[in-house]
Chains A and B, each alone.
Chain A
Amino acid sequence: MGIPLHLYLPIAGNSVNILAILGLGGGVGLLSGIFGVGGGFLMTPLLIMMGIPATVAAASDSNQIVGASTSGTLAHFRLGNVDFRMGMLLLIGGVVGGTGGVQIIKVLRQLGNADFLINVTYVLMLGIIGSYMFFESLQSMRKVKSSGPAASKEKESLYARLMQSLPWQMEFKRSGVRLSLLMPLILGVLVGILAAIMGVGGGFIMVPVMVYLLRMPMHVVVGTSLFQILFTCINVTIMQAWENHTVDFILALLLLIGSSIGAQVGAKVGKKLHGDQLKILLASLVLVVMVKMLYQLLARPDTLLAYVGGH
């Protein structure tokens, strides 16, 4: 008798190939560990392609991100890459923003065509963030090659002066920055609103915000982002299980075995890469997802029907 390769998922109402799910989890976990993004924007569509209902795919993915980000946060904590103070402030802002975002999306749905706004926001955010990160990292890598580190401090920007003028300045030792506690709180609220509207954890928006607006070093950004994602996904998992019965724990467990291992390997790979290399790789990934989404918006779908609750 051979080893069974399939498992039946009672909540998804389908059976899956164990190795395929482990491999999918491992691949996305690797990216999560390297870049500090939850990977929901990659994992959920891939699960749907494997026959998992969209609502179950999204909720179970949140459940597995809890495990993967625990493992990733632990790995980054050991490497000294988690700024707990910054993470907590971003988290508080994120929860407030997320709650507001849910109300905004309710109003938009009543007005009609909310899906249109969500999709366009998605493509625009991914396009802007991906392009900016890509070209900025490219420029930065060229600068390092041509003139060394001295050229980087050319001008004190208006933004930097504004940051310094804000009240309640505090030291974030792990990140090596000093700024007002209002900054992470306000940015957390903004990312929370966007994440709620777009229905994602917000990792891929939060990472560029930490890098460019909070001026945190890339390695600390990754660990801190995972720490924040952990709490966001705990909340989503419990709420989805309670309200919608859409968390398939067996699916989540398989994914997280793969993704936790992937996240550990990712954290080690990320440590070997230069900050600009990390940024340019993440930018490429974000741009690929943007192109895929744009294609889905422009190309005629296979069927003119979609289940309610699908993406």
Chain B
Amino acid sequence: MKKSRLFAASLIFLLASAPAIAQDSVQMTVTPGLLHIGTFYDGTSLHVEGTVPAESQVVLRFVGASCELHMRERGKVLGVMWMNLDSLIFRGVPSVCLVSSALAFDKLAGSGGPEQQEDFKSLELSGIQAEAQVESNGLDRRVAFEEFLKLKRGEGLYREMVGNVAYGPASNGRKTFEADIPIPSRLTPGAYQVELAAISQGKIIARTQQPVTVDLVGFPALLSRLAFDHAALYGVLATVIAILAGLAIGMVFQSKGAH
């Protein structure tokens, strides 16, 4: 009886400490941790480096906050014309999801069983479907999600990049890695995460993550505050400046025409 109690206690301890061990076995540094969007921002890149177990492969994900998107399904009316039809809602989808790895996902599978592969395949873009909720009256849930991925890929906000993770030589059962994740210009301020998953034999053996904050600075920040906090004033100012600019250009042309 005493033995079995001791065994149970040891098992609980091991299970409870497993994630901590997994997190400790990988280390990651993301620079910069704060991204500034200024007047001339046109996308940037995040440098990620760290160490992982030597036998593992790294999958990195730059992920935006989970959001709710309201969309319209496009379908045929009268069998001829394509129109916006029923509304559908996607819940629990990240605003951005950029996946980076050294090898393509089918090569990361290794000799892992189907369950293990399910595990690491959740890191792919198609894995978002498991977390997402799709509210649709017409379009099939699976088709709707495929179309959603197509739309997001087209916008450059969902992307799978192969080959932008590089490894250093292995020593003492560990190896270094580094990657540059290209961040798109179509980015809104908010909280983002860089997630690291170490994969061995198709199974996720360790995970860690680091926050990245995206902030508006300078003129874009000023303009954004004005547009959202003083909307009526912003509208009037936008109109008055447009009229003055139109008049100024008109004057310039008049003076040119006079000579």
Q: Name A residues whose Cβ lies closer than 8 Å to a Cβ of B.
A: 4-11, 13-15, 51, 63-64, 66-72, 74-75, 78, 113, 115-116, 119-120, 234, 237-243, 245, 247, 249-250, 252-253, 256-257, 260-261, 264, 296-308, 310
**Neighbour of B72 across the interface among A10, A298, A306, CB < 8 A:** A306
Are A305 and B73 closer than 8 Å at their CB atoms? Answer: yes
Are B241 and A306 closer than 8 Å at their CB atoms? Answer: no
Measured between beta carbons, the chain B residues less than 8 angstroms from A306 are 71-72, 74, 84
Measured between beta carbons, the chain B residues less than 8 angstroms from A238 are 232, 235-236, 239
A238 to B82, CA, bound (A): 33
The 5 lowest CB-CB distance pairs between A and B, nearest first, are A241-B235, A70-B246, A6-B42, A67-B242, A74-B250
Are A70 and B231 closer than 8 Å at their CB atoms? Answer: no
A298 to B239, CA, bound (A): 38
A242 to B235, CA, bound (A): 6
Are A250 and B236 closer than 8 Å at their CB atoms? Answer: no
Q: Name B residues whose Cβ lies closer than 8 Å to a Cβ of A.
A: 37-43, 69-75, 77, 80-84, 87-88, 139, 143-144, 147-148, 150-151, 154-155, 185-188, 216, 220-221, 223-224, 227-228, 231-232, 234-239, 241-243, 245-247, 249-250, 253-254
Are B242 and A11 closer than 8 Å at their CB atoms? Answer: no
The residue among A5, A238, A310 with the most chain B CB atoms within 10 A of its own CB is A238
In angstroms, how far is the closest chain B Cβ from the Cβ of A260? Answer: 4
Measured between beta carbons, the chain A residues less than 8 angstroms from B148 are 305
Closest to B222 in A: A10
Are A249 and B250 closer than 8 Å at their CB atoms? Answer: no
Contact A119:B83 (CB < 8 A) given known A70-B243, A253-B241:
yes
Are A264 and B40 closer than 8 Å at their CB atoms? Answer: no
Are B227 and A241 closer than 8 Å at their CB atoms? Answer: yes
In angstroms, how far is the closest chain A Cβ from the Cβ of B239? Answer: 5
A242 to B147, CA, bound (A): 33
Measured between beta carbons, the chain A residues less than 8 angstroms from B220 are 8-10, 250
Are B223 and A11 closer than 8 Å at their CB atoms? Answer: yes
Contact A239:B223 (CB < 8 A) given known A8-B40, A66-B243, A253-B241:
no
In angstroms, how far is the closest chain B Cβ from the Cβ of A146? Answer: 37
Are A8 and B42 closer than 8 Å at their CB atoms? Answer: yes
Measured between beta carbons, the chain A residues less than 8 angstroms from B254 are 78
A295 to B139, CA, bound (A): 23
Closest to B250 in A: A74
Are B250 and A10 closer than 8 Å at their CB atoms? Answer: no
A287 to B34, CA, bound (A): 50
Are B249 and A10 closer than 8 Å at their CB atoms? Answer: no
Measured between beta carbons, the chain B residues less than 8 angstroms from A307 are 69-72
Measured between beta carbons, the chain B residues less than 8 angstroms from A5 are 42
Measured between beta carbons, the chain A residues less than 8 angstroms from B81 are 116, 119-120, 297-298
